[in-house]
């Protein structure tokens, strides 16, 4: 479907931009710069839903005649919500926590247009199981710097993918942007824009 207004990605994630480009969706990148801290007692699905919507709205108010994509990803193990580690020590702690366990990955996706003040949001969930990790291999992985910009301290598309022993769901949810969900929301927004004459 051809989109009638510019598409903005409210994220500075190179992975998300590349995934959209590969899918044939051309975007401009305008990072939202919002705090990703969870609120007290906030569940993983509510957190990624709120942050995806907040990112999209934050950028859309600056560029009202566009459709803005917001996204957020977290890893959850029981009641522990794992976002991006702040430093190598936190990355090591996250990976040690995930060692030998199954965990969930939540990605929220939102599309919002300020000019019409209409938006949509969805949450996708995948489940990943890791084998037992040796502390030395955790240290070696952390030393690459790869964990520091990734929820849960790992990127499944890189060498950490070798740790996975079972998986269910959409791999793109774990990478950080389920493209099918993005297309659904963009197409829904486009139908509304067409009906109201881009108003």
0.75 exceeded by pTM: yes
Q: What is the DSSP string of 115-165?
A: TTTEEEEEEEEEEEEEPP--HHHHHHHHHTTGGGGSGGG--TTTGGGGGEE
Q: Is the pLDDT of residue 197 over 70?
A: no
pLDDT at 194: 75
Tell me whether residue 180 is one of the annotated catalytic residues: no
pLDDT > 90 in the chain, percent: 88
pLDDT tens digits, 87-128 = 999 999 999 999 999 999 999 999 999 998 999 999 999 999
pLDDT tens digits, 156-188 = 998 999 999 999 999 999 999 999 999 999 999
- Cα–Cα distance, 44 to 52 (Å, whole number): 12
- Structurally, what CATH architecture does the domain formed by 7-195 represent? Alpha-Beta Complex (3.90)
Maximum Cα–Cα distance across the chain: 59
Whether the Cβ atoms of residue 29 and residue 17 lie closer than 8 Å to each other: yes
Q: Is the pLDDT of residue 2 over 80?
A: no
Report the b/e string of 81-90 with b at 16+ CB within 10 A: bbbbbeeeeb
Question: Of the listed 45, 72, 134, 180, which one is catalytic?
Answer: 72
- Cα–Cα distance, 196 to 187 (Å, whole number): 14
pLDDT at 3: 86
| pLDDT class of 8 with cuts at 50, 70, 90 | very high
pLDDT at 65: 92
- Cα–Cα distance, 171 to 34 (Å, whole number): 26
The mean of the pLDDT values for the chain is 94
């Amino acid at each position: 479907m051809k989109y009638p207004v510019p598409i903005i990605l409210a994220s500075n994630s190179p992975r998300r931009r590349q995934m959209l480009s590969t899918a044939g969706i051309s975007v401009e990148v305008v990072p939202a710069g919002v705090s990703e801290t969870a609120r007290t007692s906030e569940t993983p699905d509510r957190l990624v839903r709120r942050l995806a919507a907040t990112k999209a709205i934050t950028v859309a108010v600056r560029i009202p005649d566009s459709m803005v994509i917001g996204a957020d990803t977290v890893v959850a193990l029981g009641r522990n919500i794992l976002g991006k580690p702040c430093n190598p020590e936190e990355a090591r702690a996250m990976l040690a926590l995930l060692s030998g366990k199954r965990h969930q990955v939540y990605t929220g996706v939102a599309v919002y247009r300020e000019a019409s003040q209409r938006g949509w949001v969805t949450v996708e969930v995948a489940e990943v199981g890791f084998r037992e990790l040796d502390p030395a291999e955790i240290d070696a992985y952390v030393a690459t710097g790869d964990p520091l910009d990734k929820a849960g301290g790992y990127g499944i598309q890189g060498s950490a993918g070798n740790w996975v022993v079972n998986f269910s769901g959409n791999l793109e949810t774990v990478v950080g942007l389920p493209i099918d969900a993005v297309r659904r929301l963009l197409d829904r927004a486009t139908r509304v824009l067409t009906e109201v004459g881009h108003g």
